[in-house]
Structure 1
Amino acid sequence: MRTASRTGAALALMLAAGTASAQIAVSGNDNKARLVNGVVTIVANPPPDTITILDLGGRAPRPIAELAVPHSVVGPPTGVAISPDERYAFVTSAQRIDPADATKTIPDNRVSVVDLRSSPPRVVQTVEAGAGPSGISINRAGNLVLVANRNAGSVSVFRFAAGQLAPVSTVTVGPANSGPSHVQFTPDGRRALVTRDGETDSRVSVLAIDGETVTKTDRDLTVGTRPYGMGITPNGQWAVVANIGRGTGDADTVSLIDLRRDFYLTADTISVGPTPEGIQVSPDNRHVAVTIHNGSARPPGHPLLGVAQLVILRIEAGRLRRITQAPIGAWAQGIAFSRDGRTIVVQNMVDRNLAVFRFDGSRLIDTRQRIAVGGGPSAIRTAER
């Protein structure tokens, strides 16, 4: 891995030259948590968490910089976001080590702003959201950021201007244990959806947005058990939700939400396998990539131990259809598509690397390329356009 100091100038020049050639992805990497014999264990005296900046625009994805930024594997693998012009990254930290007991973690509240074009890339601001900030999104206008606070039952609203976040409001979406996990704007910026994975909650809330005014509507959608990750197609017609279940050998699901009219409806729900955590939609609006834990984080010999899978679904006539899948690393997390939809990058938390696949519309091909990162990769995003 090249250091940020050696690659910052190259990255700045590449981005300044125009985004047509660069396709930036950012991977958030947690150094606090490791899986030891199927048990999530807090590392003693861990190095700082990091982010890895990648270029997906070439023949093969490549890392171009890495720097220390607080981050956490807790929460869905959407705890990073990138501004539409690919200049700034936003990184949440849902958990930090408990200062009273270094073997445990407690909720954090930090959100970091990273200037990707500085040489080297650097954190330019840290702000406070609610307890357990997890999924984060920025609108296509590039001036409003929403953060789902998983331990507070709320969504934090920030104005973004001149490279700085400024708090605007906090929107309560449910009780503290409702578990708001990810929040994402619809492409027109008029609405946002919030997944709520609380054990007794399991719904998706709809927020209305008018300028900087964000309010919760009275429309909550029923999907599967414990909705967690989410993606929205670039054309704004569909949302997909990963319902992670309870981890007891469930046949867990992905739900399809019809956004084509103001009264949103759950159009379909399909079983995909145990614990679908990462989920992302393709640039062509037709495909959905999902990482399935499949018991891969279980201890050796456990009856539910399995091999994690990357599953591809297709949206057809308002329904979801499974078309292909491939094995991936244990405790897999987030997913990123290249702009042409032909490259898929998957985070392997246990292996501490990124796996690169090719997708031709019907088949997944493992390129065998693995990109080492400085920590357990636990969230990844590209700019939404």
Structure 2
Amino acid sequence: MKARLLTGAALALTLGCGAASAQIAVSGNDNKQRLVNGVNTVVANPPPDTVTVVDLGGARPRALGEVQVPHSVVGPPTGVAVTPDERFAIVTSAQRIDPGDPTKTIPDNRVSLIDIRANPPRVVQTVEAGAGPSGVSVNRAGTLVLVANRNAGSVSVFRFRDGQLAPVSTVTIGPANSGPSHVQFTPDGRRALVTRDGDTDSRVSVLAIDGETVTKTDRDITVGVRPYGMGITPNGQWAVVANIGRGTGDADTVSLIDLRREPLLTADTISVGPTPEGIQVSPDNRHVAVTIHNGSARPPGHPLLGTAQLVILRIEGGRLRRITQAPIGAWAQGVVFSRDGRTVVVQNMADRNLAVFRFDGTRLTDTRQRIPVGGGPAAIRTAER
């Protein structure tokens, strides 16, 4: 696999210097699909998809290296995960070019493991999950990986040991059209939540975890219409869910799930604007960053065409409150915080770059820094600690 930007030696040196010198984010970039006059269009003879390794630790975030690896804009922008030690990235590929008709895509099933400290960074393993692997997460112990299979109605369970993934089991979540989109561990590793964005589904399922045994409980949580992306606060008290709605221009929502009690319950749901897709919680457990499409991927002149927004919510007294927002690029995807919570990075899919914002706890400031990436950025994550 090809790596670019920093040389492999420089990247390995940077990542080998420890947490004080690097805070790693990984951006998955799709080259198969682009926005053409408001239409998601399959690219003829596209270059390979890529993954970009980004350091958030300095005064200005910077790209460290890039590797060719299959990825897809289809699915929530949580189709990458970073191991707690920031040594490996796990990347899903929900769609691939249809070999029988290169103007179309079909579900893929590949999951790639990348050694981001290798010299140069490289894909070290490719495994198969179910159809349409999308959201992926690693437990805090760095021993178990879950993958939501959006076209199969299931979650794949993998053991992670000695730098290798090994399949353990497949957990049925619902029928194939239930649309399991993202799956995420609670910090204690004893449970995981699964968003289900199927048109007639719209719920969040709860998984129980005992060692490597993962089972679906009988608890399904009611949130908004078509729950998609999700984040869980580092202290394990709250989950936030982006409910993307039906794409009809109506104001959609974010739900807050109380994880402190049994049974788990939705505590609040707030209107945020049309199509919230990327969502992430801050390291201080207090703030939620959400990317709102707001019709920004519509054709020119469309009555629902709008400007995408980065919205910051605050978790306060068991409720969500909007505190600030700023315009972002069209068809925005994922979002991450730096470890100190003061830097917010947004993926601008149509513009093929990462936008850097500063957040002081009250206001967002666009730094105007843009980090170009090798494709349309479609998913981004940092290590969960």
Same fold, TM-score > 0.5, yes or no: yes
Unaligned ranges ≥5, structure 1: none
Secondary structure in 2 aligned to 1:12? helix
Per the TM alignment, residue 5 of structure 1 is displaced from its structure 2 partner at its CA by 7.6
In the alignment, the residues of structure 2 paired with residue 227 and residue 184 of structure 1 have an alpha-carbon distance, to the nearest angstrom, of 13
TM-score, scaled relative to structure 1: 0.99
1:250: how far off?
1.3
The alpha-carbon deviation at position 3 of structure 1 amounts to 5.2
Q: Which residue of 1 aligns with 2:71?
A: 71
For residue 292 of structure 2, what is the amino acid of its counterpart? I
1:284: which partner in 2?
Answer: 284
Residue type of the alignment partner of 1:108: D
Conserved? CA contact 1:26–1:382, under 8 Å:
yes
- What RMSD, in angstroms, separates the aligned Cα atoms of the two structures? 1.0
Alpha-carbon separation, structure 1, partners of 2:32 and 2:133: 17
Structure-2 residue corresponding to 1:329: 329
The equivalent of 1:139 in structure 2 is 139
Shift of 1:177: 0.1
Identical positions, percent: 86
Match of residue 257 from structure 1: 257
The one-letter amino acid of 1:380's match is: I
Alpha-carbon distance between aligned partners in 1 of 2:157 and 2:4, rounded to the nearest angstrom: 30
Corresponding residue number in structure 2 for 1:271: 271
1:20 Cα offset (Å): 2.4
Aligned pair 1:183/2:176, yes or no? Answer: no
Deviation of 1:7 after TM superposition, in Å, equals: 2.4
Report the CA distance between 1:16 and its aligned residue. Answer: 2.2
Q: Is the 8 A contact 1:195 1:205 kept in 2?
A: yes
Structure 1 residue 262: Cα displacement: 3.1
Aligned equivalents of 2:218, 2:148: Cα separation in 1: 18
Corresponding residue of 1:50: 50
Q: CA deviation at 1:219?
A: 0.2
- The amino acid of 2:96's aligned partner reads R
Deviations 1:313-368, CA, capped at 9 Å, x for gaps:
00000000000000000000000110000000000000000000000000000000
CA contact (8 A) 2:3 2:68 kept: no
State the match for 1:221 in structure 2.
221
SS in 1 for 2:229: strand
Please tell me whether residue 338 in structure 1 is matched to residue 338 in structure 2: yes
Residues 157 and 168, structure 1, Cα contact 8 Å, conserved in 2: yes
Which amino acid counterpart does residue 90 of structure 2 have in structure 1?
A: F
Look up the equivalent residue of 1:229 and give its one-letter code: G
Match status 1:363 vs 2:354: no
Read off the aligned partner of 1:346 and give its amino acid letter. V
Indicate if the aligned counterparts of 2:222 and 2:266 stay in contact, CA closer than 8 A: yes
Distance 2:91 2:8 in 1: 19
Give the Cα separation in 1 of the matches to 2:10 and 2:369: 23
Deviation at 1:6, TM superposition (A): 4.4
SS in 2 for 1:4: strand
**Structure 2 counterpart of 1:44, one-letter code:** A
Q: Which residue of 2 aligns with 1:80?
A: 80
Further displaced range: 19-28 or 106-115:
19-28
Structure 2 SS opposite 1:94: strand
- The alpha-carbon deviation at position 204 of structure 1 amounts to 0.1
Q: Residues 88-127 of structure 1 correspond to what in structure 2 (within 5 A)?
A: 88-127=88-127
**CA distance in structure 2 between the partners assigned to 1:249 and 1:29 by the alignment:** 26
CA distance, structure 2, for counterparts of residue 126 and residue 270 of structure 1 = 39
Offset at residue 152 of structure 1 (A):
0.2
Deviation at 1:57, TM superposition (A): 0.3
Structure 2 length normalisation: TM-score?
0.99
Alignment correspondent of 2:315:
315
**Distance (whole Å) between structure 1 residues aligned to residue 30 and residue 15 of structure 2:** 26
Query: What's 2:376 paired with?
Result: 376
**Per the alignment, do residues 321 and 17 of structure 1 end up closer, same or farther by CA in structure 2, a change over 3 Å counting?**
same
Gaps of 5+ in 2: none
- In the other structure, the counterpart of 1:244 is 244
Match of 1:234 in 2: 234
- Residue in 2 aligned with 1:36? 36
Instruction: Single out whichever of 167-176 and 4-13 deviates more from structure 2.
Output: 4-13
Task: Give the deviation of 1:18 after TM superposition.
Answer: 1.6
Matched, 1:21 2:5: no
The Cα shift of 1:13 comes to 1.8
Note if contact 2:153-2:179 (Cα within 8 Å) is conserved in structure 1: yes
Helix, strand or coil: the match of 1:201?
Answer: coil
SS in 2 for 1:10: helix
Answer whether contact 1:178 1:197 (CA < 8 A) is retained: yes
Which consecutive segments of 4 or more residues in structure 1 shift more than 6 A? none
Give the SS at the match of 1:234. Answer: coil
